[in-house]
Amino acid sequence: MKINFYWEFPYPDIESEILPLYYATTSHLHSAIQLFKICREAYPDIEFTAIDSAQLNEKGEPGIKQYGPANKFSHFYIIIENPDTKKYFTIAYWDKLRGMSEGTHWDLENMVELFAGCGVQENEKDFKSTNINYTPISNMCLHITADQRIQQVWQTPKTTPEYLYFKGGDYDFRSHVYKDGRIKIDNIRVSQHEFIDMLAKDSIIIDINGASEISHRTFDAFGLSAALIRPKLTIKYHNELIPDYHYAVLKCDDLGDWDRVIDAYLDRFEDLKKDPELVHFLAMNGRKWYEENATVKANATLLKQLINFNKLI
C-alpha cells in the first residue's frame, strides 16, 4: 500500500532541526512529523511519502483559501491519503469544522474519517455543538515554543491573581467582555516566552470562547498546573476532560446570555479564591491530562493508535 502524508513542512525537510519561519513553531505541524516517523517505523510494508502542502497551496486558485484536497490542504489540516483509491483521513485543528461542509473545495465523498481537535461549534453565539461526525483526538498549545517554556516554568510559585484578565483577540463574545470591563482583556501580541511567563505566576487562569469554543489558553493553563475556569466543553476528546475535575466549569446553562456568562466567570473566580484545596486539585488533574494528552509526542502517539490504514483501501 502507498500512503501520502500532506502537511506544511515547518522545516526544509522532515529530518532537519532548523526553524526558519514563525509558523514553524506550530505544534500540530511537529505532531505531523512525529506521526509520520512513528508510522513509517511501525508499518514497514507501507510505502509512506511526505508531501509539503505549502508548495501545493502556492499553485491554488488566487484568493481562495486552500482548505481541502480538491485544491490541496491547508495550514491547520493534516491529510493522510491513499493515492491509488483517493480515500483519505483528515486531521483537523482548525477553528470551525463546519467550514468543511460550507466550502466548495473538499472532496467529502472520499474522506473516510475526520479526526478533530477543536472547532465543532454550530455558531459563535452560544457555541452549541454541530452534528458533524468526527473521531475525538487531543490538542496542544498552539506553538511548540509555548510547550517548551511551560516545561521550564510550570513549577513557578503561584499566587491568586487580584482580578481576572485574558490576553487574546477581542472578537465575538470576547468583544462583549472587552466592552463590559469587569474582566481585563487585551490583544497586544508578545513573544511566547513572555506570554507563558505572564501566566505562570497565577494559580487561576481563564479561557474565553472566541472563533472556536476552545483556545489554546486551556492547554497553557493545564501545562502550567493552574486551575482553569471555562465554559463546559461540547467538543469531545479521546481522553475526556471532566468538568470540576480537570477544570472549574462555569455555572451558566446559556452561553448565549453573555452578561450572565461574565457573571459566572466572576462568581467562579470568587469560589476558587475561597477554596485553595480545590485550586490545587484542579491544577494537578489538569497537569496530568496535559502530560498524557497535550504534548506533541502524546498527540502523535494517540493518532497512531486511532488510525487504521486499512480503511483507505
DSSP letter for 307, please.
-
pLDDT at position 18 is 42
pLDDT at position 58 is 55
pTM: 0.91
Q: How far apart are CA 277 and CA 155, in angstroms?
A: 17
- Domain 149-294 part of CATH 3.40.50.300: no
pLDDT at position 261 is 97
Residue located via cell numbers 485544491: 71
pLDDT tens readout for residues 230-260: 999 999 999 999 999 999 999 999 999 999 9
pLDDT band per the 50, 70, 90 thresholds, residue 24: low
Q: How far apart are CA 127 and CA 212, in angstroms?
A: 8
- What mean pLDDT do residues 84-95 have? 92
Identify residue 227 by its one-letter amino acid code: A
> What ranges do the domains of the chain cover?
2-140+296-312, 149-294
For residue 28, the surrounding DSSP H or E stretch is helix 27-42
pLDDT at 180 over 90: yes
pLDDT tens readout for residues 132-169: 999 999 999 998 999 999 999 999 999 999 999 999 88
State how far the alpha carbon of 170 is from the alpha carbons of 185, 195, 278, in Å: 8, 17, 30
Which of 181, 173, 8, 36 has the alpha carbon at shortest distance from 94? Answer: 8
pLDDT tens readout for residues 208-236: 998 889 889 999 999 999 999 999 999 99
Mean of the per-residue pLDDT values for the chain? 88
State how far the alpha carbon of 1 is from the alpha carbons of 7, 41, 305, in Å: 20, 15, 19
Q: How far apart are CA 141 and CA 148, in angstroms?
A: 10
For residue 191, the surrounding DSSP H or E stretch is none
